[in-house]
Amino acid sequence: MSGFTGLGESIRAVGLLAPGDACSRPLPGRPLPPVEQPIRPHRTGRRTVGFWLIATIATLGAVAALSAHTLAQHLTARTDQEIARASAFDGAIAPSPTPALDKNGLVLVLDMRGRVVARHPGGDDLPAFPVLTADRLKAYATRSAPSAFGESYRAKVVRTAEVGRDHQGGYVVTARSTAADRRAVERLLQVETAAALPLLATVLIGARRLGRREVRERQDTERRLREFMAAAGHELRNPLTTISGYAELARLGDAGHEAMRQEALGRITTEVGRMSTLIDELVLLTRLDFGQPLRLTCVDLAQLCRDAVCAARDCHPDRPVRLLLAPGDHTVTGDPLRLHQLVANLLANARVHTPPGTTTTLGLGTEDGHRVIEVLDDGPGIPDELRARLFDPFVRGEETRAAGSGLGLSIVAAIAAAHGGVVTLEPSEPSHRGAWFRVRIPAPS
């Protein structure tokens, strides 16, 4: 029983653990086993296409209606002005029997009963003028401005004291045809419709592409969420299984197994701490993803980096850590606890994924209005197949045997994003093989 090297085998012997359960984990960087429920297609893409198509049609329709209404109002105002000028005569007598009219003008002289006494058309192809009764003529004569007569004319009616040879009173109707104006508005709508068709086609193509991209993003989000949940469940299941096995072993009442029982209780405590840490990290990552507010204050990143380096040196004296501070101000507006966790996670990542004796460098400076935190090491570097997913949760290298949940770098990325910044993994260079992380956080204005 010396060293209790057979404790795990003793637990397996009583049938509490299957072989490999205590340390089995999903391989980082590799896809998880397929989930039972396939990702179902969504209607988000169709909704996006429909929304943009309806919005475009509504906008084009509103523009066309507004422009047509504006043109019609302008043409009506011009027609009324021309009618007012043509009907400007002394109401005591009728106008000249041969008034000067353009091809759209018409002058009618009517007696008191509404019968046409004289007709002076400006053109031969004018539409028929509506029949007017004596009552309607009397009503129109009281209006000072021209009015619409049917669908093809606007006219003004003037009462006169003399009409024709019998010198009886009557009415003079000065009218202008609006058929040309109506054709002008129709041509405008036709031109706008012809111009709108290519625009609608362009919007439709763009909306379909946007819809397909949204569908892909949504499916990718669902896939990543399910992978996250599967990995989180696996990570939580490991310590729970171990705790269950050691707890069953600790229940052995034989006094000869007291040392083993105490060791089992110690292992239970260790696994409980590991699971608590994992749950805390998951909760923190969820809060950051949901954008919960931070406790913002003025933070001196220089002092924060000094504290992080001192803690790393004290806890791991065999791991050299250098600190490089550029001259100048290094303050930011942020959450000091989360920013300290960001730096500590980067240092811990360099420590656990590099061989003993590897030197880690923590640098701090200012660049383009941003505070820049850099963590470099002279270790073996990061494999190319992991670089694209390095900041995803539960991603670990296949060759690493370090304990951890694989959430450290994803928490770093979430903290940086919560402060309006970004963390990047710089590409490897021939002169530097190790990992090189850069965090950019906006400096206070």
Query: What percent of the chain lies above the pLDDT cut of 90?
Result: 21
Instruction: Share the mean pLDDT of the chain.
Output: 78
Q: Which residues contact 186 (CB under 8 A, 6 or more apart)?
A: none
Backbone CA torsion sign across 335, 336, 341, 342 = positive
Six-digit token string for 324: 């490089």
Residue 347 has pLDDT above 90, yes or no: yes
**Higher pLDDT residue, 294 or 326?**
326
User: Is the pLDDT assigned to residue 365 strictly greater than 90?
Assistant: yes
Name the token pair of 92.
Answer: 């005591």
Q: In the prediction, which pLDDT does 254 show?
A: 63
pTM of the model: 0.49
For the segment 39-73, what is each residue's pLDDT rounded down to a tens digit? Answer: 444 455 567 677 777 888 888 888 888 998 899 89
DSSP H helical ranges for 251-332: 258-289, 301-315
The per-residue pLDDT for range 391-413, each reduced to its tens digit, is 887 776 655 545 556 788 888 99
Q: Where are the domains of the chain?
A: 2-53+201-289, 80-179, 297-442
Strand order in the sheet with 168-177: 116-121, 105-111, 168-177, 153-163, 147-149
Q: Class assignment of domain 297-442?
A: alpha beta
pLDDT per residue as tens digits for the range 174-232: 999 998 888 999 999 888 888 888 888 887 888 788 778 877 877 776 776 676 666 66
For residue 235 the two structure tokens come to 């990570």
Distance of CA 197 to the CA centre of its chain: 27
